[in-house]
């Protein structure tokens, strides 16, 4: 189901994170919006715009996280942190062998007009429990086109994140600078 002919993509997204309800309380729900771009292999950018500005960039070597309110940048070696994360599913999706090293992949039943794939991390000691990826498939059977529409993430604490992608563009021309990150002047930089 992961489409091999998509080398890059761009979309607007909304993310709804629902924390499990505690006794006597309703679940907490937080909504964020922004833009997302990726270029395979292993490069992506999430620009969160609401409710807070935050940027996450994977440049192929380093995963950068910039929190504008804190004026703080965290830099981590990308190979050490991406392995079995939802971002790896998108950034590496064309390389099924690489994905199968970290995930058990299975087709899931079609629902809501989407075709679904479930990815379960092979490592049981991570923070991720499962990921469902929903694609909208269109076109003729001989040459279907597939666009990423939904990413549902369940973590080991029972928190559910649903990213919905809108206005998805397959294979846009993205400048090489889209995945370059330079810490803003005066920002605290933490390297892990």
Q: What's the total number of domains in the chain?
A: 1
CATH of the domain at 45: 2.50.20.10
Q: What is the DSSP string of 55-116?
A: EEEE-SSEEEEEETTTTEEEEEEHHHHSTTSHHHHHHTTT-HHHHHHHEEEEEEEEETTEEE
- The answer as to whether 1 is a domain residue is no
pLDDT in tens, the chain (192 residues): 455 567 888 999 999 999 988 888 888 999 999 999 998 878 899 999 999 999 999 998 999 999 999 999 999 998 777 655 666 666 665 556 666 777 788 889 999 889 898 888 887 777 788 888 888 877 666 666 778 899 999 988 889 999 999 998 888 999 989 999 999 999 999 998
> 68 lies in which domain range?
8-191
- The answer as to whether 57 is a domain residue is yes
- The answer as to whether 24 is a domain residue is yes
User: Do the beta carbons of residue 161 and residue 45 sit within 8 Å?
Assistant: no
User: Do the beta carbons of residue 93 and residue 3 sit within 8 Å?
Assistant: yes
- The answer as to whether 37 is a domain residue is yes
- The answer as to whether 183 is a domain residue is yes
- The answer as to whether 27 is a domain residue is yes
- The answer as to whether 3 is a domain residue is no
* Residue labelled with tokens 């529409």: 149
- The answer as to whether 78 is a domain residue is yes
The b/e string for 78-114 (b: 16+ C-beta within 10 A; e otherwise) is beebbbbbbbbbbbbbebeebbeebbebeeeeeeeeb
User: Do the beta carbons of residue 120 and residue 107 sit within 8 Å?
Assistant: no
pTM: predicted TM-score of the whole model, two decimal places? 0.82
């Amino acid at each position: 189901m992961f489409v091999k002919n998509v080398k890059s993509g761009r979309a607007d997204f909304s993310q709804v994170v629902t924390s499990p309800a505690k006794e006597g309380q309703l679940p907490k729900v937080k909504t964020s919006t922004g833009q997302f771009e990726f270029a395979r292999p292993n490069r992506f950018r999430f620009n969160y715009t609401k409710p807070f500005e935050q940027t996450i960039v994977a440049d192929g070597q380093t995963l950068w996280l910039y929190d504008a309110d804190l004026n703080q940048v965290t830099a981590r070696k990308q190979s050490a942190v991406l392995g079995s994360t939802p971002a790896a599913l998108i950034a590496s999706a064309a390389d099924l062998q690489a994905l199968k090293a970290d995930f058990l992949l299975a087709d899931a039943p079609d629902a809501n007009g989407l075709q679904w794939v479930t990815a379960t991390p092979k490592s049981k000691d991570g923070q991720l429990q499962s990921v469902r990826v929903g694609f909208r498939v269109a076109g003729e059977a001989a040459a279907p086109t597939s666009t990423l529409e939904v990413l549902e993430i369940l973590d080991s604490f029972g928190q559910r994140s649903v990213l919905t992608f809108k206005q998805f563009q397959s294979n846009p021309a993205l400048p090489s600078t889209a995945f370059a990150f330079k810490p803003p002047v005066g920002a605290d930089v933490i390297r892990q």
